Amino acid sequence: MSRRPAPAEHPDMTVAGDRVLTLPNLISLVRLLGVPVFLYLFLVARADVAAVAVLAVGGTSDWVDGWIARRLGQVSRLGELLDPLADRLYILATLLAFTARDVVPWQFTVALLARELLLLVSLGVLRRYGYGPPPVHYMGKTATFLLLAAFPCLLLADAAPGIGTAAAAIGWGLAWWGLVLYWVAGAMYLVQAYRLVRAMRAEATA
């Protein structure tokens, strides 16, 4: 029986180091810890200004850790897993919290959650064939950046009525563009997963 190729052995997958203790990984870990902090500030303490600050820092650090990883040559497989995990947790936690307090309509939340569910199914199929998550695509990173930039604006619009109109316009502009690109990126991931599975089947029958 032939050995299933590891993700890094396939031409569609990227090769990353095995380092764990790196600055980008530390930043991603801090971002993960920021998720429960945001939920507490927003849902329990109702400290919206502080919650905006946590969201802003989380969105900014999403770009910073990737830049540092490339700049210092500290790209790692752990980092490739932590970074999208932190992104998804921030997005999901923010959406659910915003929906609970009527900052965003439930239809917007459902649209994003449906995309996540679709990708979760595709990841299950990839795992069945011996593959891990595919590398994060630039389209997905762009969509995530737009959404993480939109959320503080939407929260600011809700918390500060004096600048609510401008903040809401900017926030919803970013949010809708982010939603569209999020689905575009999801379609690209599905195509990538299909190609990997098709290649695996071709190797099995060769």
Q: Is residue 55 part of a domain?
A: yes
Cα atoms in the 13 Å half-sphere on the side-chain side of 197 = 15
**Six-digit token string for 205:** 């029958």
pLDDT tens across 34-86, in order?
899 999 999 999 898 898 888 888 877 777 777 776 777 777 777 677 777 88
Q: In this structure, how many other beta carbons lie within 10 angstroms of the beta carbon of residue 134?
A: 24
Domain assignment of residue 2, yes or no: no
Helix (H) or strand (E) holding 124: helix 106-128
The total domain count for the chain is 1
| Residue 82 located in a structural domain | yes
Domain harbouring 67, CATH code? 1.20.120
Contact 78, 61 (CB under 8 A): no
pLDDT digits (tens, 9 = 90+) for 2-42: 344 444 444 333 444 566 677 777 888 888 888 999 999 99
| pTM of full prediction above 0.85 | no
Report yes or no on 1 lying in a domain.
no
